[in-house]
């Protein structure tokens, strides 16, 4: 048994080393990916539930290494955060999506929601970077939503001052802040009142399962929407896949929805077409 244990340790050790090596290689390739322009931004429509028109888009990064399959963000965002590469990558996503949406905003009032990682908010010049991306693109601050997770603002019970001060400054300029994946973290509800935020995005794990009635899911979704409304926060439901879910969200007074029911994330030209069609309808 002792021998087996040792062998397992060796195996574990080798696996760990192989994993580290792979991570190091991915970091190298990601570093090159920036200069070689291998990233893309896809856009997923945000739908206003009262009239089901597109009022915004969420920017979602993709990595397209030449001659290979497109890599989804779950495969490289973590590694980019650990290595700090998320700082230049995140700045690129912001500049690129502000540029794309500036024209849509002028013609149709479209807003853009951009994911921001905790690592980016630790940078002293994060706020200036955001203002600079807006100025360069001509997108007004009111048309930008920054999506952050609960963990950004609250880390094991203590509020992170640097993040708060960046977001407060940016909100002073008219930029909006949304809490992403709301309800999946474990922060106290008091934070919703105290922190500099404007919207909550209801995580898709709260959507009722398709088919059978799901009274527990309904109760939770209603509680979140009522809570947000009481605090004058906007609500965006994520991962909406069925007409039944849409009907429920409309009945409960959720403001906006996003999900495969309306559209998957799509490349810029397809998003432009969807926005135009929605405005003409």
Which residues of this protein are in contact with ligand C2E, per CB under 6 A? 44, 60-61, 72-74, 77, 86, 90, 93, 115, 117, 180-181, 204, 239-241, 258-260, 265
Rule CB under 5 A: is residue 181 a binding residue for Ca ion?
Answer: yes
Out of Ca ion, ligand C2E, none, what residue 111 binds, judged by CB under 5 to 8 A for its kind, is: none
The piece of 69-77, 98-106, 119-127, 173-181 that touches Ca ion (CB under 5 A) is: 173-181
The residue within the footprint of Ca ion, chosen from 30, 98, 105, 147 (CB under 5 A), is 147
Distance separating alpha carbons of residues 73 and 65, to the nearest angstrom: 13
Site for Ca ion in 52-111 (CB under 5 A): none
In whole angstroms, how close is the CB of 182 to Ca ion at the nearest point? 8
| Residue with Cβ nearer Ca ion (147 or 150) | 147
In whole angstroms, how close is the CB of 150 to Ca ion at the nearest point? 11
Distance separating alpha carbons of residues 39 and 92, to the nearest angstrom: 9
* Closest residue to ligand C2E, based on beta-carbon distance: 259
> Element (H or E) spanning 153, and its range?
helix 150-153
Rounded to 5 degrees, φ, ψ at 22 are -60, -40
Rule CB under 5 A: is residue 150 a binding residue for Ca ion?
Answer: no
Out of Ca ion, ligand C2E, none, what residue 260 binds, judged by CB under 5 to 8 A for its kind, is: ligand C2E
In whole angstroms, how close is the CB of 262 to ligand C2E at the nearest point? 8
Strands 154-155 and 144-149: unpaired
Residue 232, classed as helix, strand or coil, is coil
**CA dihedral defined by 202, 203, 206, 209, rounded to 10 degrees?**
120
| Residue with Cβ nearer ligand C2E (208 or 265) | 265
How far is the CA of 190 from the CAs of 35, 157, 193, 202, in angstroms?
43, 12, 5, 17
Residue 63, classed as helix, strand or coil, is strand
């Amino acid at each position: 048994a002792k021998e087996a244990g040792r062998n397992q340790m060796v195996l574990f050790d080798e696996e760990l080393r192989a994993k580290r090596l792979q991570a190091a290689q991915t970091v190298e390739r990601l570093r090159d990916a920036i200069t070689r322009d291998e990233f893309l931004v896809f856009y997923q429509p945000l739908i206003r539930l009262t009239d089901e028109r597109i009022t915004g888009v969420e920017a979602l990064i993709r990595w397209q290494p030449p001659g290979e399959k497109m890599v989804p963000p779950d495969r490289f965002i973590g590694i980019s955060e650990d290595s700090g590469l998320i700082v230049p990558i995140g700045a690129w996503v912001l500049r690129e999506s502000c540029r794309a949406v500036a024209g849509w905003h002028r013609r149709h009032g479209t807003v853009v929601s951009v994911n921001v990682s905790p690592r980016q908010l630790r940078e002293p010049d994060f706020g200036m970077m955001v203002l600079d991306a807006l100025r360069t693109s001509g997108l007004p601050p009111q048309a930008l939503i920054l999506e952050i997770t609960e963990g950004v603002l609250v880390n094991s019970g203590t509020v992170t001052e640097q993040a708060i001060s960046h977001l407060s400054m940016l909100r002073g300029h008219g930029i909006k802040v949304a809490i992403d994946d709301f309800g999946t973290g474990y922060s106290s509800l008091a934070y919703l009142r105290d922190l500099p935020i404007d919207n909550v995005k209801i995580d898709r794990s709260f959507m009722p399962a398709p088919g059978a009635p799901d009274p527990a899911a309904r109760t939770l979704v209603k509680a979140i929407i009522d809570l947000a409304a009481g605090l004058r926060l906007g609500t965006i439901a994520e991962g909406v896949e069925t007409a039944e879910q849409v009907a429920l969200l409309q009945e409960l007074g959720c403001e906006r929805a996003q999900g495969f029911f309306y559209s998957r994330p799509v490349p810029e030209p397809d998003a432009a077409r969807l926005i135009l069609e929605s405005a003409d309808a």
